[in-house]
């Protein structure tokens, strides 16, 4: 069964943008605590550029939508997060190339995105980065029957909370060493909004 159509993939990007714009201040505040305070701006601007691009473009496949988003994020988002999200979406697109997006295909795509983030950023699980969220979502998708997409949200919320007590070992936050403890990782929070947008888009279709 196809779970994500081309229109839904576009909608996924549009909903992600809405959430990231809505939570721009929150992401900025989180990044002010352990980074340089630009994460909200980076994500809101990047996804607004993505939406500008995809809204005016016709796509034949979900892979094409994600590839287009990837190119825009890599090109337009300053900071570490742009190339990381760009790579994640590009690898997802490659994984979905020539396929309909069934649940199985989507799970494979998340695995590919996760691998892309790791190749690019060299993070391991538990190093207080957005990789932690992708890792847990991928693990969840492998452990659960595919009709429980909403379960992704709980998984994200739990790992986001776990990042608070982690010491950052990658990116700008790692400069703070032990002092990075006590704060949620901003990139984990933005990844949550992207997965939440995905779940929302699937739910609308069911309703
Ligand atoms: P910058 O750190 O360059 O200012 P952003 O503020 O936009 O970029 O993004 C910061 C987020 O990027 C962090 O919260 C973290 O989740 C993520 N990040 C940084 N470096 C890495 C890395 N090497 N691997 C995975 N994620 C990373
Ligand atoms: Mg930053």
Quote the domain boundaries for residue 107: 2-206
pLDDT at position 204 is 74
- Asked if residue 101 has its Cβ within 6 Å of ligand 1, the reply is no
Distance separating alpha carbons of residues 190 and 200, to the nearest angstrom: 15
| Phi-psi sector, 182: left (phi>0), alpha (psi -120 to 50), beta | left
Which among 171, 185, 188 is the best mutation to test ligand 1's pocket, defined by most ligand atoms within 8 Å of the CB? 171
- Residue 185 CA, closest ligand 1 atom number: 14
Displacement of CA 41 from its chain's centroid (Å): 16
At which residue do the structure tokens 């009709």 appear? 147
CA distances from 174 to 77, 82, 149, 150 (A): 21, 18, 32, 32
What CATH number corresponds to the domain at position 121? 1.25.40.340
Overall domain count for the chain: 1
The Cα 113–Cα 91 span in angstroms is 5
**What is the reported pLDDT for 146?**
67
For position 203, what pLDDT does the model report?
Answer: 81
Q: What is the pLDDT of residue 206?
A: 62
Q: What is the pLDDT along the chain (207 residues), one digit of tens a residue?
A: 999 999 999 999 999 999 999 999 999 999 999 999 999 999 999 999 999 999 999 999 999 999 999 999 999 998 899 999 999 999 999 999 999 999 999 999 999 999 999 999 999 999 999 999 999 999 999 997 766 799 999 999 999 999 999 999 999 999 999 999 999 999 999 999 999 999 999 987 665
């Amino acid at each position: 069964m196809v779970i994500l159509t081309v229109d839904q993939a576009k909608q996924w990007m549009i909903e992600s943008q809405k959430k990231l714009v809505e939570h721009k201040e929150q992401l900025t505040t989180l990044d002010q605590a352990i980074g340089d305070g630009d994460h909200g701006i980076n994500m809101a601007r990047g996804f607004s550029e993505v939406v500008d691009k995809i809204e005016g473009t016709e796509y034949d496949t979900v892979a094409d939508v994600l590839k287009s988003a990837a190119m825009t994020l890599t090109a337009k988002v300053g900071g570490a997060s742009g190339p990381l999200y760009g790579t994640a979406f590009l690898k997802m697109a490659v994984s979905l190339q020539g396929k309909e997006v069934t649940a199985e295909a989507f799970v494979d795509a998340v695995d590919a995105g996760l691998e892309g983030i790791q190749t690019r950023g060299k993070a391991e699980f538990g190093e207080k980065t957005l990789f932690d969220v992708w890792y847990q979502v991928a693990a969840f998708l492998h452990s659960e029957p595919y009709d429980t997409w909403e379960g992704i949200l709980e998984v994200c919320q739990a790992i986001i909370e776990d990042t608070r007590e982690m010491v950052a070992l990658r990116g700008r936050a790692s400069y703070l060493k032990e002092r990075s403890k006590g704060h949620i990782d901003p990139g984990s929070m933005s990844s949550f909004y992207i997965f939440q947008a995905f779940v929302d888009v699937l739910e609308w279709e069911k309703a």
